[in-house]
Amino acid sequence: MQPEYEMVMELTSFAWTLIPMLLHGLTLAAQGILGAALVASGIALLLSPDHLLPGLGALAAPRPESVGARRFGRLQIGAGVLVLAPLSLGWPWLASAAGCVGAIALLWVSGRGIFRALALAAAALTLLFMAWERDDPATLAARILFKAQEWRTHELEWQLANDVRSPKVGDLAPDFELQDPSGEETIRLSSFRGKRPVALVFGSYT
Residue of 106, 101, 95 whose CA lies nearest to 123: 101
60 and 41 in contact (C-beta within 8 Å)?
Answer: yes
This prediction has a pTM of 0.61
168 pLDDT band, cuts 50/70/90, is confident
Domain boundaries in the chain? 15-143
Closest CA to 116 of 104, 102, 129: 104
Confidence of residue 132 (pLDDT cuts 50, 70, 90): very high
CA gap 62, 81 in Å, rounded: 19
Give the model's pLDDT for residue 80: 93
Q: Are 118 and 104 in contact (CB under 8 A)?
A: no
Residue 35: is its pLDDT beyond 70? Answer: yes
Confidence of residue 81 (pLDDT cuts 50, 70, 90): very high
Range with lowest mean pLDDT among 1-15, 123-137, 151-165, 177-191 = 1-15
Distances, alpha carbon 59 to alpha carbons 24, 51, 141, in Å: 25, 13, 27
% the chain with pLDDT above 70: 80
| DSSP H helices in 109-136 | 114-133
Say yes or no to pLDDT of 78 above 90: yes
Q: Summarize the confidence of residues 143-170 as an average pLDDT.
A: 78
Residues 6+ apart with CB under 8 A from 101: 127
Burial class (CB in 10 A: 0-12, 13-18, 19+), 126: buried
